[in-house]
């Protein structure tokens, strides 16, 4: 239970950082396949699915709520080390995936799909260097439908390893508005400010419903792909994961680089790898 919550925390933190994928973290933690199965068999295997999903969702909530501002501070003060920590978390998950294709014949199709998905993530990161115009969150039917659609897109990319949901929100202009709404909602919740809570619900409810619909829909699609084309799917994930550090460097600010920053950054990288390997153990 505690281990699943910690894995959820890592996924939650990853989902709020542009360039970092919650799906990649799930792969690194060794729970990606299980989450996909639980999401697609939620009704038929309700009890088993809840045993897995509840602690992960709880951990994600803790990661988003409790660690978002700590991470904001870390990125402001030690950006290189923080980015390298996340790169380490991603790299540490590679052995779990390479095991799936080890000893099997590498075909041209595997290489092409790996390169294609690498290019998709790197390309999105290049496009996402600057956020688009901030989205309008005023309450009306059109914006409610937009938020529902944005939630579907963002959650779908959160589920796919290597593709950052936060990066997609940034490209669509919703990243800062939604993040600020979440922070304001938490503050209003703590203060029990009902008008503020209701105002936040106008944004977060349609967005949250879209997220839930997107996760279930894309999870079913991914399950079918894994059933029919498992080797191609794993090579695609390898391409996505290898591209993730590139996306982080393209999307993130590295701050002042000097000998101390590099040395402490290497330590952070190794710590990230060790954490990922440890949490990835069954």
- The per-residue pLDDT string of the chain (282 residues; one tens digit each, 9 = 90 and over) reads 788 888 888 888 777 766 566 777 787 777 888 888 888 887 888 888 888 889 988 888 888 777 766 776 787 788 899 889 888 877 887 887 788 788 888 899 999 999 998 888 788 767 654 444 456 778 888 889 989 988 887 776 667 766 667 767 766 777 778 878 888 888 898 888 999 999 889 989 999 899 888 877 888 888 888 888 888 988 988 887 788 788 777 766 788 889 999 999 999 999 988 887 776 665
Rounded to an integer, what distance in angstroms lies between the CA atom of residue 22 and that of residue 35? 12
Sequence-distant (6+) residues with CB within 8 A of 128 are 18, 19, 167, 170, 171, 250, 251
Rounded to an integer, what distance in angstroms lies between the CA atom of residue 150 and that of residue 152? 5
Buried b (16+ CB within 10 A) or exposed e, 108-133: eebeebbeebbebbbebbeebeebee
Buried b (16+ CB within 10 A) or exposed e, 168-196: bbbbbbbbebbbebbebbbebeeeeeeee
Asked if residues 162 and 241 have their Cβ atoms less than 8 Å apart, the reply is yes
**What's the pTM?**
0.67
| DSSP secondary structure of 29-92 | TT-HHHHHHHHHTTTTTHHHHHHHHHHHHHHHHHHHHHHHHHHHHHHHH-HHHHHHHHHHHHHT
Backbone angles phi, psi at 261, to 5 degrees: -65, -40
């Amino acid at each position: 239970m505690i281990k699943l919550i910690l894995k959820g925390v890592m996924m939650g933190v990853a989902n709020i950082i542009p360039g970092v994928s919650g799906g990649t973290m799930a792969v690194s933690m060794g729970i990606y396949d299980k989450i996909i199965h639980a999401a697609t068999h939620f009704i038929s295997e309700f009890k088993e699915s809840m045993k897995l999903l509840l602690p992960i969702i709880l951990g994600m909530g803790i990661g988003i709520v409790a660690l978002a501002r700590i991470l904001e501070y870390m990125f402001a003060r030690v950006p290189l080390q923080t980015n390298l920590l996340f790169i380490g978390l991603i790299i540490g998950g590679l052995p779990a995936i390479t095991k799936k294709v080890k000893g099997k014949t590498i075909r041209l199709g595997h290489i092409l799909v790996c390169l294609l998905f690498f290019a998709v993530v790197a390309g999105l990161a290049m496009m996402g260097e600057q956020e688009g115009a901030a989205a309008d969150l005023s309450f009306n039917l059109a914006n409610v439908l937009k938020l529902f659609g944005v939630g579907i897109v963002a959650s779908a990319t959160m589920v796919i390893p290597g593709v950052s949901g936060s990066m997609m929100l940034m490209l669509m202009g919703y990243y800062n508005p939604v993040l600020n709404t979440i922070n304001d909602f938490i503050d209003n919740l703590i203060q029990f400010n009902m008008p503020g809570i209701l105002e936040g619900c106008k944004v977060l409810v349609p967005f949250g419903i879209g997220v839930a619909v997107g996760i279930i829909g894309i999870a079913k699609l991914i399950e079918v792909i894994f059933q029919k084309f498992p080797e191609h799917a794993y090579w695609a994930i390898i391409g996505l994961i290898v591209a993730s550090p590139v996306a982080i460097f393209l999307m993130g600010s590295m701050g002042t680089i000097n000998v101390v920053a590099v040395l402490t950054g290497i330590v952070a990288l190794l710590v990230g790898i060790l954490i990922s390997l440890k949490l990835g153990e069954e």
